[in-house]
Chain A
Amino acid sequence: MEVTVLIQATDEAFKIIEEARNRALDVLNTSVRFTAEAKVLEEKKVQDIFKGAERTKSEVLSFLATFALLFFPFWMPLSGFFDVFHLSIGVGCCALVAYISHDLLFVNVRVGDMRTIVKRFFAYIPWLIYQIYLASVHVIKIVLKPKMPINPRIIRFKTKLQTDISMVTFANSITLTPGTISVDIKEGEYYVHAIDEEVAYDLLYGGEMEDRVAHVYMEAEHVYVQDVLDVARIYGALR
């Protein structure tokens, strides 16, 4: 009789363990599913915030930013007249153009980042000019030799940049430096025509220009101290 009770008890214990095991498996499956969906949901949440903000505040902000960008650095130097008549014509024209095209200039940009991106962009330009100087010296040395040891080739490499603005900045920087011309960007890969091995290897295995462009548009994976200091201001304001 005790044996029967013992067997019953063990049976119930096994059932409980089995149920616990099934529940644990369920929890594991749901947690895996949740982590897979969490990323999607987070992206969608960011996008929704995006869309909501775009409808209300960002639209006015992009209108004003486009207006300011058109009026001050572009219309005033072109026009050169600073009397009321021409200034009012300028304001009217800039307002009209900003109204019809304000959604073209600032796309995919989080509003808080704009200042850091502009600052870093203006810090990137002198470095780019220095690279142009180095590359042109190199090309001149090659071209002025009577043998002209050029070895033109088209190289293809994957890029780690994500947004279209950063990819276009990188492509334009490649084209600006003598010796390389970016031919195409297809499916995240750059096709670049290089004039000899040295510039090609510089692009393929050096990668400094790509890192710098990623840093300008705040896509760099490694964290600089300056990055943290820059965003700390934004986080402080948010908190």
Chain B
Amino acid sequence: MIITYEDIIIKTLTRVLAPFLQLYALYVIAHGHYSPGGGFQGGVILAASFILMVISFGLDMARRRLSEKVDIIFLCLGLLIYSGTGALCLALGGNFLDYRELTKLLPVTIAKARSLGILFVEIGVGFGVMAVMTSLVYDISTGGLPPERR
């Protein structure tokens, strides 16, 4: 059984901090080619903003913001983007995840196409990691029970 402790300082600071956390996570994902970061790190920070909401507000408010159904959708979306990019390169005639083939779709140079392909894959990884981390915390805090039996 989870005992919640209501603290006004933590609640206010969490709700003010959450948008900045999420934006920082997206910054880390988008600038993986330039500064330390990338998909996994950004995804973890994005999940951390929701986990912070679980800790400060309780599970219900966090579930209102990111329910398990939307979580699973994000997970599948992330996986779809990753393998979809790879399969797209496969369908365009190259190897799996050979981003050179993306020049057939977008009007960019080969180097830029590789960079863009990596960026797409990182975005997919970010969403997937965020979904998995959030669902881990949800499972731990509810004991794995479905919503009807809590």
A residues with CB within 8 A of B: 66, 70, 74-75, 78-79, 81, 86, 89-90, 93-94, 96-98, 100-102, 104-105, 107, 164-165, 167-168, 171-172, 182, 184-185
Q: Which of A66, A105, A172 gathers the greatest number of chain B CB atoms within 10 Å?
A: A105
- Given A164-B8, A168-B8, A104-B27 contact (CB < 8 Å): no
Q: How far is the CA of A184 from the CA of B5 in the complex (A)?
A: 11
CA distance A81 to B24 in the complex (A): 15
A67: shortest Cβ distance to chain B, in Å? 10
CB-based contact B8/A101 at 8 Å = no
Among B16, B19, B26, the one with the most A-chain Cβ atoms within 10 Å of its Cβ is B19
* A74/B23 contact (C-beta < 8 A), A100-B65, A104-B18 known: yes
Asked if A97 and B26 sit within 8 Å, CB to CB, the answer is: yes
Q: Which residues of A contact B24 (CB under 8 A)?
A: 74, 78
Which of chain A's residues has its CB closest to B53's CB?
A: A104
B interface, CB within 8 angstroms of A: 7-9, 11-13, 15-16, 18-20, 22-24, 26-27, 30-31, 34, 65
Q: How far is the CB of A21 from chain B (nearest CB, A)?
A: 52
Residue of B nearest to A94 (CB): B23
Given A75-B27, A79-B31, A184-B7: A70 in contact with B12 (beta carbons within 8 A): no
Sample of 26 A–B contacts (CB below 8 Å): A66-B19, A70-B20, A74-B20, A75-B27, A78-B24, A79-B31, A86-B30, A89-B30, A90-B30, A93-B27, A93-B30, A97-B23, A98-B19, A100-B22, A100-B65, A101-B19, A105-B15, A105-B19, A164-B8, A164-B12, A165-B12, A167-B8, A168-B12, A168-B13, A172-B9, A185-B7
| Bound CA span A74–B13, Å | 17
Contact partners of A104 in chain B: CB under 8 A: 15-16, 18-19
**Alpha-carbon distance A94/B23, docked complex (angstroms):** 7
Which residue from B9, B23, B27 sits with its C-beta under 8 Å from A171? B9
In the bound complex, what is the Cα–Cα distance between A171 and B15 (angstroms)? 16
Contact B12 A93 (CB under 8 A): no
Q: What is the distance, in angstroms, from A8's C-beta to the closest C-beta of chain B?
A: 71
Chain A, interface SS category: helix
Q: Give the complex CA separation of A104 and B61 in angstroms.
A: 12
Residues of A within 8 A of B19 (CB): 66, 70, 97-98, 101-102, 104-105
- In addition to A70-B20, A89-B30, A168-B8, 15 A-B residue pairs with Cβ atoms within 8 Å of each other are A79-B27, A86-B30, A93-B23, A93-B26, A93-B30, A94-B23, A98-B19, A100-B22, A101-B22, A105-B15, A165-B12, A167-B8, A167-B9, A167-B12, A184-B7
Please give me the residue from chain A that is nearest to B13 by CB atom. Answer: A168
Smallest CB–CB gap between B75 and chain A, Å? 17
Q: Given the complex of chains A and B, what is the CA–CA distance between A105 and B20 in angstroms? A: 10
Which 4 pairs, one residue from A and one from B, show the smallest C-beta to C-beta distance?
A93-B26, A101-B19, A168-B12, A104-B15
Chain B residues contacting A94 (CB-CB under 8 Å) are 23
- Say whether, besides A79-B27, A96-B26, A105 and B16 are in contact (CB < 8 Å): yes
User: Could you say which residues of chain A place their CB within 8 Å of the CB of B30?
Assistant: 86, 89-90, 93
How many angstroms from the CA of A88 to the CA of B62 in the assembled complex?
29
User: Which residues of the other chain, A, contact B31 by a CB distance below 8 angstroms?
Assistant: 79
A194 to B11, CA, bound (A): 24
Q: Could you say which residues of chain B place their CB within 8 Å of the CB of A89?
A: 30
Taking the closest CB of chain A, its distance from the CB of B120, in whole angstroms, is: 12
